């Protein structure tokens, strides 16, 4: 079979296999996404699953949760077997359908009201300014380790009221568990992910026991809300409680880290856009939306067809796994004129970075707040910041971000 090259879009689409990706794809997947949209927008993978790259197809699947299920009890069994990873990913909010999904989401969303999120802003500003002060003292930082990752760990740690002295392992646990969601899983990733779930659950059992003895304010403390359940309603089982605490920490951590890191790196690559943001700080809201669209932190979603159906005019058999390529949908020229241009004034900008429908990210308002404060204040504090070497990609296809970004802070 001939080898696909970037200059041969038809071959790129023909040869695409999500389980066999080149280093070039991890660095820049967008030429492949464009090729797929043009030549095979509903791409059948060698394993029989489908890979969608058009905005309209991805959105249509999101709109129809009855036909396209989020439940992973069948799909994840061959991948994880009877393991801690299987227990976690089939119990957490994101990989479930109603009614379980509805019960848990309602409890989490109740602590993420507009009023509750607004109340977090002063503390978030203090946190970010403290990190910026430390960066100014050093003059150079790793954007990810010294800044972007520190923000969501602190915010989500506060939401669950995890004692500060106990937060050190949270980032590594999260990275290990989410890393095991990659399409291809190495033995090392599998072992690391299972160990992280086990250690996380052991820690949470103790934290939950302490919180049962001394409950927090359920208006602000998500863990207390999950423990108490709905007033007069059904309580979560111990397994649901523990696994969804892990989910809350994971969901709010890596994607927000990537949003902040991707946004600040992208602004170095588009200097006229950074100059516009410096001149008009009020553009930060639309700038964050463009960061979400242009380099979506979460690039892939998954569903399973529950009945015989069709996507984009093509028949889809019941039981077919479907991968929603959010990163490709958010660069679809049918939805976004000049989609490969980073434009912080883009309007409208109805991207799918947070998903769509009943599974839209419950913490999207919090993620937007964190990004507005972090990116906006970083740019104003260090108007001439620049890369101090080559950034290191995170090596993920599902979660797009950086592992390290050396920066000079000026």
Residue 6's pLDDT is what? Answer: 58
Share of the chain above pLDDT 90, in %: 84
The whole-number average pLDDT for the span 127-145 is 98
Q: Name the fold adopted by 65-295+357-408.
A: Cytochrome p450 (1.10.630)
DSSP secondary structure string for all residues of 180-224? TTSSS--HHHHHHHHHHHHHHHHHHHHHHHHHHHS---TTT-HHH
Q: What is the pLDDT of residue 232?
A: 67
Per-residue pLDDT of 240-296, as tens digits, reads: 999 999 998 888 889 999 999 999 999 999 999 999 999 999 999 999 999 999 999
- Residue spans per domain, the chain: 65-295+357-408
Q: Is the pLDDT of residue 231 over 80?
A: no
Average pLDDT, the chain: 94
Per DSSP, the residues of 317-371 read -TT-EEEEEHHHHTT-TTTSSSTTS--TT-SS----TT--GGGS-TTHHHHHHHH
Cα separation, 5 vs 243, in Å, equals 43
Q: Prior bond to 99 cis, omega within 30? A: yes
Q: How high is the pLDDT of residue 261?
A: 98
What letter does residue 19 receive in the DSSP assignment? T
d(CA 325, CA 298): 9
Long-range contacts of the stretch 72-76 (C-beta < 8 A, 24+): 72/302, 72/304, 74/304, 75/302, 75/304, 75/321
Percent of the chain scored above 70 by pLDDT?
A: 97
pTM: 0.94
Those residues whose C-beta lies under 8 Å from the C-beta of residue 150, and which sit 6 or more positions away, are: 127, 131
Q: What is the pLDDT of residue 1?
A: 34
**Helix 254-269 and helix 150-159, axial crossing angle in degrees, nearest 10:** 150
Burial class (CB in 10 A: 0-12, 13-18, 19+), 393: middle
Burial of 163 (0-12, 13-18, 19+ CB in 10 A): exposed
Structure tokens at 144: 């990810």
Concatenate the DSSP letters of all residues of 217-246 into one string: -TTT-HHHHHHH-STTSPPPPHHHHHHHHH
CA 12/CA 1 separation, integer angstroms: 12
Q: Note every long-range contact of 115-123, with CB atoms under 8 Å and residues 24 or more positions apart, other chains counting.
A: 116/219, 116/220, 117/365, 117/366, 117/369, 119/220, 120/155, 120/158, 120/366, 120/369, 121/369, 121/373, 123/158
The pLDDT of residue 37 is 98
Average pLDDT over residues 28-37: 98
Greater confidence (88 vs 99) lies with: 88
Determine the Cα–Cα distance for residues 106 and 225; give it in Å rounded to an integer: 10
Mean pLDDT value across residues 156-166:
93
Residue 103 has a pLDDT of 83
| pLDDT, position 252 | 84
Neighbouring CB atoms inside 10 A of 287's CB total 29
């Amino acid at each position: 079979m001939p080898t696909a090259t970037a200059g041969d879009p038809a071959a790129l689409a023909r040869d695409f296999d999500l389980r066999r990706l080149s280093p070039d794809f991890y660095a820049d997947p967008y030429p492949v996404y464009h090729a797929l949209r043009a030549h095979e927008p509903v791409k059948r993978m060698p394993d029989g699953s489908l890979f969608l790259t058009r905005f309209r197809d991805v959105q249509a699947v999101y709109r129809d949760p009855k036909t396209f299920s989020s439940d992973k009890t069948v799909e994840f069994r061959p991948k994880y077997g009877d393991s801690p990873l299987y227990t976690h990913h089939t119990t957490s909010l994101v990989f479930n359908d109603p009614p379980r999904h509805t019960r848990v989401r309602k409890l989490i969303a109740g602590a993420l009201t507009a009023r509750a999120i607004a109340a977090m802003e002063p503390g978030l500003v203090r946190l970010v300014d403290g990190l910026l002060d430390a960066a100014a003292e050093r003059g150079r930082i790793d954007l990810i380790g010294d800044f972007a990752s520190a923000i969501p760990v602190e915010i989500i740690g506060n939401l669950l009221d995890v004692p500060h002295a106990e937060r050190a392992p949270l980032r590594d646990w999260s990275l290990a568990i989410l890393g095991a969601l990659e399409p291809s899983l190495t033995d090392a990733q599998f072992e690391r992910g299972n160990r992280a779930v086990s250690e996380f659950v052991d820690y949470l059992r103790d934290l939950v026991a302490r919180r049962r003895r001394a409950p927090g304010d359920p208006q602000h403390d998500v863990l207390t809300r999950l423990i108490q359940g709905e007033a007069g309603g059904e309580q979560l089982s111990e397994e649901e409680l523990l696994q969804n605490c892990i989910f809350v920490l994971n969901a709010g951590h890596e994607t927000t880290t990537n949003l902040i890191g991707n946004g600040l790196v992208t602004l170095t690559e588009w200097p006229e856009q950074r100059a516009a943001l410096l001149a008009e700080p009020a553009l930060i809201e639309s700038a964050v939306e463009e960061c979400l669209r242009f380099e979506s932190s979460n690039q892939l979603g998954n569903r399973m067809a529950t009945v015989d159906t069709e996507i984009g005019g093509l028949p889809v058999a019941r039981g077919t796994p479907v991968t929603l390529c959010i990163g490709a949908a958010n660069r679809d020229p049918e939805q976004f004129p000049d989609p490969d241009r980073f434009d912080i004034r883009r309007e409208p900008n109805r991207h799918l970075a947070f998903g769509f429908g009943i599974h839209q990210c419950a913490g999207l308002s919090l993620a937007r707040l964190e990004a507005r404060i972090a990116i906006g204040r970083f740019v104003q504090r260090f108007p001439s910041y620049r890369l101090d070497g080559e950034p290191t990609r995170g090596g993920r296809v599902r979660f797009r971000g950086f592992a390290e970004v050396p920066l000079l802070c000026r």
